[in-house]
Chains A and B, each alone.
Chain A
Amino acid sequence: MPLLDVLNLEVRYGGINAVKGISFAVEEGEMVCLIGANGAGKTSTLKAVARMLPAAGEMHYRGERLDRLPSHALIGKGLALVPEGRGVFARLSVAENLAMGAYHRNDNEIAADLERIYAMLPRLAERREQLAGTLSGGEQQMLAIGRALMGRPKLLLLDEPSMGLAPLMVQKVFEVIRNVAAQGVTILLVEQNAKLALETCGRGYVMESGKITLADTAANLLADPRVRAAYLGE
């Protein structure tokens, strides 16, 4: 049974049909990416999975109907989203943002997890008391990822973590993501940077104007002439 199983997902904004009945699945322990051009419907898909948007279709998470849960119940089930544009709480400090990530937890390992995050993301450790709104884009992305990890997710959805970052910072962010995956967290990654996404993940889906047009292993997609032409600039 897949960790996440999506069937005929459909998202509409008024008259616009942004996601047109797509189906996909993510197995436990996988790294899967969803690539596609601007406006293909990637963010809408992730938001629908995170129950931030009304959507039609069925979504199963560990066999449970996801589409019947409110958004705020998801993290308790192990599903976290790092949203497009990071979505850090600008007026909260770095430490408070990370604490928010552990909001649903009541165990006594929160402090230890916090230190682990700081060890993994030392730039954040140096800026604990700084307001998140004053961090650089890359630091904010690190914070958004760290905050999601504070919730101890089993499935992490990432929406364009490389957006707006300089190449060196993109490398660092992806290093962190690989690191997280190595610790056993399942990852569904949305990216514009198709090459990097396919090199990082095991499998991929290609989305075009609301539909999934290709689904294959990352290696096959990287070799596919259609992908090379449309997304790898060849």
Chain B
Amino acid sequence: MDILLQQIFNGLTLGSIYALVALGYTMVYGIMGLINFAHGEVVMVGALVALSVMKPLAAAGLPGPLVVLVALLVAALVCMALGFTIERVAYRPLRNAPRLAPLITAIGVSIVLQQLAMLIWGRSYHAVPPLLPAESHEVLGAQITELQLIIMLVAALTMAGLILLVNRTKLGRAMRATAENPAIAGLMGVDANRIIALTFIIGSALAALAGVLVSANYGIAHYHMGFILGLKAFTAAVLGGIGNLAGAMVGGVLLGLIEALGAGYIGDLTGGILGSHYQDVFAFFVLIVVLIFRPSGLMGEKVSERA
């Protein structure tokens, strides 16, 4: 079996999920200079809500893909409401507060969401029913599953849609204008509050999708799955240049690849001293190296004026 190609497939799958989550970080940062650390927890809520919808529907014997679709829809709605509420309750009152205040609040929101999820879904790991086609195919000596293909395709289509929204629609234009200068955009009639709320809602819908995909990919979901995933997606956003949409996508995919390749080769590279469970270290190491040479990330602009 071709290990390189195999790890590239795995990396692209993982990377497309990171990219979806990274977009949520980067959109919010781009528009209001806030790092919404609670975003990873929204992914977790998406995964667990979807799971709760899937179980009874799957037990009722509905076709797998339909069940996933319904579960995704419900999870997206719940997450959009959650994202909207978080912005409204936790961040909006701090819009003009010193930068540290919303950051600390974000960490507080994460903890609250995690604890609530623990109360609702318990501490155990939940098996996610395999509802999507997962047949494996051989491509050039490596195995790729239909599930992996679905994940990459759905993520790619979603991101293409987001790019169109941001670059080609009136709403997207207003989002970019608000990101650049909310007071001036206000003079044109743009209600910054509405744009910010919409940004949270869109980011949360992406998070719900990512939650469903990531739990399908690993086959498990649990109340603290959002933390490390969020941290990695944030890393991906910084790697690509936070605030930059394309950067989040590139950063996400790169991080997935780095991680998968690192996991595949780290044992060989270190003569067996470090095992594949060091993949996280690898990802963060690459981040540090990139930031030393390009402090604003791969596609970021020279240190943004709002940072």
Q: Residues of A with Cβ closer than 8 Å to B?
A: 50, 52, 70-76, 80-81, 83, 87, 89-92, 96, 99-101, 103-104, 147, 151
Query: With a CB–CB cut-off of 8 A, which chain B residues contact A50?
Result: 187
Known contacts A96-B173, A100-B173, A100-B174: A71-B186 contact under CB 8 Å: yes
B187-A70 in contact (CB<8A): no
Given the contacts A52-B186, A87-B181, A100-B185, A72 and B191 also touching, CB distance less than 8 Å:
yes
* Contact status of A147 and B176, CB under 8 A, knowing A87-B181, A89-B181: no
Contact present for A71 and B183 (CB under 8 Å): yes
Other contacts beyond A52-B183, A89-B180: 15, CB < 8 A: A71-B183, A72-B186, A72-B189, A72-B190, A74-B189, A80-B187, A81-B187, A83-B184, A87-B187, A99-B173, A100-B188, A100-B190, A103-B170, A103-B190, A151-B188
Q: How would residues 165 to 183 of chain B score, 1 for a CB under 8 Å from any chain A CB and 0 otherwise?
A: 0000010011011001101
B187 touches A89 (CB 8 A): no
B151 at the interface (CB under 8 A from A): no
- Name B residues whose Cβ lies closer than 8 Å to a Cβ of A: 170, 173-174, 176-177, 180-181, 183-192
List residues of chain B with CB within 8 A of the CB of A87.
Answer: 181, 184, 187
Known: A92-B177, A96-B173. A103 touches B189 (CB 8 A): yes
Contacts of B183 in A (CB 8 A): 52, 71
The interface residues of chain A lying within 8 Å CB-to-CB of B192 are 72
Q: How far is the CB of B175 from chain A (nearest CB, A)?
A: 11
- Interface of B, helix, strand, loop or mixed by DSSP: helix
Q: Which residues of chain B are within 8 angstroms of A70 by Cβ–Cβ distance?
A: 186, 191
Q: Please name all residues of chain B whose beta carbon is closer than 8 Å to the beta carbon of A74 when the two chains form the complex.
A: 187, 189
A133 closest partner in B (C-beta): B180
B187 and A92 within 8 A (CB): no
Which residue from chain B places its CB closest to the CB of A50 in the assembled complex? B187
Residues on B with C-beta less than 8 A from A103 are 170, 173-174, 188-190
Tell whether, in the assembled complex, residue B188 and residue A147 are in contact, meaning their CB atoms are under 8 Å apart: yes
Q: What's the Cα separation between A91 and B177 when bound, in Å?
A: 8
Chain A residues lying within 8 Å of B188, measured Cβ to Cβ, are: 72, 75, 100-101, 103-104, 147, 151
Which residues does chain B contribute within 8 Å of A76, judged by CB atoms?
189
Q: In the complex, what's the smallest C-beta–C-beta distance from B179 to chain A, in angstroms?
A: 8
Interfacial chain B residues near A83, Cβ < 8 Å: 184, 187
Residues of A contacting B181 in the complex (Cβ-Cβ under 8 angstroms) = 87, 89
Which of A72, A90, A101 interacts with B180 by CB under 8 Å? A90
A52 to B182, CA, bound (A): 11
A213 to B191, CA, bound (A): 36
Given the known inter-chain contacts A72-B192, A103-B174, please indicate yes or no for A92 contacting B180, CB distance below 8 A: yes
CB distance from B201 to the nearest CB of A (A): 19
List the B side residues contacting A92 at CB < 8 Å.
173, 176-177, 180
- What A residues does B186 contact at CB under 8 A? 52, 70-72
Q: Which of B173, B180, B189 touches A151 (beta carbons < 8 Å)? A: B189
Interface centre among A71, A75, A76 (most CB of B within 10 A): A71
- List A contacts of B176 (CB < 8 A): 89, 91-92, 96
Smallest distance from the beta carbon of A157 to chain B beta carbons, Å? 10
Most buried by A among B181, B183, B184: B184
A selection of 8 A-B contacts at a CB cut-off of 8 Å is A71-B186, A72-B187, A74-B189, A76-B189, A83-B184, A87-B181, A89-B184, A100-B185
Shortest CB–CB separation between residue A223 and chain B, in angstroms? Answer: 36
